[in-house]
Amino acid sequence: MNCIICDREVSHSSYGVVAPFISELADSPRESLVTLQHCDACQFSFFSHRYSDTELAAIYGGYRGADYLRVRKRWEPWYRSAVNSAYQAGSREVDSRRAFMESLIAQVTEGQFRVAVDFGGDEGQFFPDSAVGRKIVIEVSAKPLLEGVELHEDFTSIGASPDLVMICHVLEHLNDPVTLLREVHQVIDPQGVLYVEVPLDTPRLHKYHARDAYQRYLVHVAGTRWPLVVCDFVSGVSRQIGLRIPRLGVVKQSEHINYFTDRSLKALLTKAGFSVLAYRAEPKASVGGLRLGKLGMVAVPADRR
C-alpha cells in the first residue's frame, strides 16, 4: 500500500479494529479488522479502512447528539459529556481555539476578510473576530447555526471566492484530504489565506501489533463486549499518559482515520498547491480534559501573484 500523501510505499503496518460504537451506529460487524499504516518518508499514519458513505452518514449525521452519546457511552463508559459538548458556543475551549488560530493568522495578515468559510464548522462559533464580512459554514451535522452565519452544501454554491478558509479538526476524519484541499485551492481568492488545524494524537505502537498473533488476539477480544471495553479503557489511559498503546491493548480506528505530524501536514498542503507561511504545535493541548494536542498551519496558494 502507498501513502496517500507522498505516494511512497508505507513503511510499517499494524493490525487494528474499528471502534465498536462506530460499528453499532453504522450497523456493521463489530469485529471488523483494519490495519494502521505508517509512512517513514512523510511521517503520516492512516487506517487502511476508509469509511463508506453509509458509515459516514451514521457517524456524522447526528454528530455528538443524543443517540451518538448513548451508543458511545455504551462501549466507552468513561467517555465524558464534557468532551462531547466541549465546543459549544461560548465555551472556554472555543475561546482558546479561536485565540490559537488568530495568533497564527496575525503572523501572515492583519487585514479583515470579506468572505470566510469554515469547512466542518459546526454552528459557526469558531470564526475569528476579524472575519467581519460573510461567515459561511459547510457542514453536514444539521445543527442550528449562530446568528449571521450562512449554511452551504459546498464551495460552488457560495458565489464568491473566499479570502479565508478554515479547516479545523476535519482532515483527520476525511477519506481523501488531498481532494478537499485541491478543491479549496481552486476556489480560494488568489490573495486568500487557508488555516488548517489537526490534533497531535498519533498512537505509539508495539512491534507485537504488527504480528499475526496480535491479529488473532484482536479477533478474540473483539468478540466479547466486556473484555474489549476493559482492554480499550487500559489502552486509552496509556495513550493519555504516554500516547502508547500497550502490547495487549487495542489499536482502535475511531473517528480519526488520519494522523498528522508537522512534516506530513506540510507535505499534504504542498501537494494540494499551498505554501505554509506559519505553524505552531501544542502537543499537550486538551479538550474537555482529554489530551489530544493540536497543530495549526497558515498557508497561501503557492502560485499566487
Mean pLDDT, residues 118-142 taken together:
88
Question: Given this model, what pLDDT does residue 286 score?
Answer: 84
Rg (C-alpha) for the chain, rounded Å, is 19
Mean pLDDT, residues 231-235 taken together:
95
Contacts of 64 (CB under 8 A, 6+ apart): 84, 85, 141
Count how many residues are written for the chain: 305
Q: Where are the alpha helices (DSSP H) in 87-145?
A: 92-105
Secondary structure E strands in 219-267 = 252-253, 258-259
Residue 31: band (very low, low, confident or very high) from pLDDT cuts 50, 70, 90: low
Tens digit of each residue's pLDDT (9 = 90 or more) over 218-229 = 999 988 899 999
Q: Percent of the chain beyond pLDDT 90?
A: 72
Structural contact between residues 169 and 149, judged by C-beta atoms closer than 8 angstroms? no
Check pLDDT > 90 for residue 301.
yes
Q: Which of 169, 163, 165 shows the shortest CA–CA distance to 181? A: 165
Check pLDDT > 70 for residue 297.
yes
Q: What's the rounded Cα separation, in Å, for the pair 269 and 199? A: 16
Q: Which three cell numbers stand for residue 215?
A: 491479529
| Rounded (5°) CA angle 246-247-250 | 65
For residue 10, what is the DSSP state?
P
Residue 2: band (very low, low, confident or very high) from pLDDT cuts 50, 70, 90: very high
Q: Which three cell numbers stand for residue 21?
A: 460504537
Structural contact between residues 82 and 288, judged by C-beta atoms closer than 8 angstroms? yes
Q: Where are the alpha helices (DSSP H) in 12-129?
A: 20-26, 53-60, 66-75, 81-84, 92-105
Q: Which three cell numbers stand for residue 240?
A: 493519555
Domains and CATH numbers, the chain: 12-86+205-258 (no CATH), 92-200+261-301 (3.40.50.150)
Q: Which of 176, 191, 222 shows the shortest CA–CA distance to 299? A: 191
C-beta neighbour count of 272 within 10 angstroms: 22
Q: What's the rounded Cα separation, in Å, for the pair 189 and 152? A: 18
Question: Given this model, what pLDDT does residue 304 score?
Answer: 65
Q: What's the rounded Cα separation, in Å, for the pair 54 and 117? A: 26
Residue 109 backbone phi and psi in degrees, to 5: -150, 145
Question: Given this model, what pLDDT does residue 285 score?
Answer: 87
Question: Given this model, what pLDDT does residue 111 score?
Answer: 73
Residue 256 backbone phi and psi in degrees, to 5: -85, 120
Mean pLDDT, residues 263-282 taken together:
97
